[in-house]
Amino acid sequence: MTVTFPPDYPNTELAGRDASFDVTVKEVKVKELPDLDEDFAIDAGFDDVEELRADIRARLLEADEGRVEADFRQAALDGAVSGAQVEVTPELVAARAREMWERMLHSLSHRGISREAYLQIVGREEAGILEEMAPEADLALRREAVITAIVAAEEISPSEAEVLDALRGTAEREGVEVETLLADLRSAGRLEDVREDLAARQAIDLLAESAKPIPLAQAQAREQLWTPEKSAAAGAAQQGAAAPARLWTPGDPGSAS
């Protein structure tokens, strides 16, 4: 097999050059799936195939509902972010992008991939990756600012019982009593982090509860007629200055009906 390395390949000794590889196939495996019959269903712990299908259907529906709920919560938060005035400096954005990059590299290191190896694999420079991460870093900072403001304004402070409830799932997975996990977190000085995470989730809960969902078709139709970006651009053109974007809602008087 003959390949040509791209001209911008990180290894300059190989960039633009042809290379020939000898490949030896030592083994070919074929995956054979079992028949979906009564025996398969019984082996899986069900009475029959229909019960197995019903269980799979219920699990898929639960997963879909979970994704929809997560998307809705994220949309509610981002809607609040788009309507908030948050000052984020370029220095903060750069620092957050760097933090995100280092966190990703730390995760990759657990799989045996170094910084240098990753950059060579993707054929990118670190500066370019950080620049690409900047918009995501900017949004993350704005989200955190809005959540922090809601926590402060609503005086959200999770109780001990709420913290215990939030830790039950983790305790079950780790096979320990929830009280033991709570004590371990407190002794390790990590309990406050848990409280802050729970307070943030409760703040997003408030946003999601106050948000009004509308049918997808209606949202798409209105998006074609009016968007916050279009409104901001129109306002800027009329006033001769940049106008802040507004959060679109079904009853927004600025939207087309």
**Which of the two residues, 221 and 71, has the higher pLDDT score?**
71
Model pLDDT, residue 225:
57
Q: How far is 93 from 78, CA to CA, in rounded Å? A: 18
Is residue 72 within 8 Å of residue 208, measured between CB atoms? yes
Banded pLDDT at 252 (limits 50, 70, 90): very low
Among residues 160, 148, 205, 202, which one has the least CA distance to residue 185?
160
Q: How far is 245 from 247, CA to CA, in rounded Å? A: 7
**Which of the two residues, 87 and 224, has the higher pLDDT score?**
87
Banded pLDDT at 236 (limits 50, 70, 90): very low
Note if the pTM is more than 0.85.
no
Banded pLDDT at 95 (limits 50, 70, 90): very high
User: What letters, b where the CB count within 10 A reaches 16 and e where it falls short, cover 202-220?
Assistant: bbbebbbeebeeeeeeeee
Model pLDDT, residue 224:
66
What angle is formed at CA 193 by the lines to CA 66 and CA 203, rounded to 5 degrees?
50
Q: How far is 139 from 133, CA to CA, in rounded Å? A: 10
3-class secondary structure, 49: helix
3-class secondary structure, 22: coil
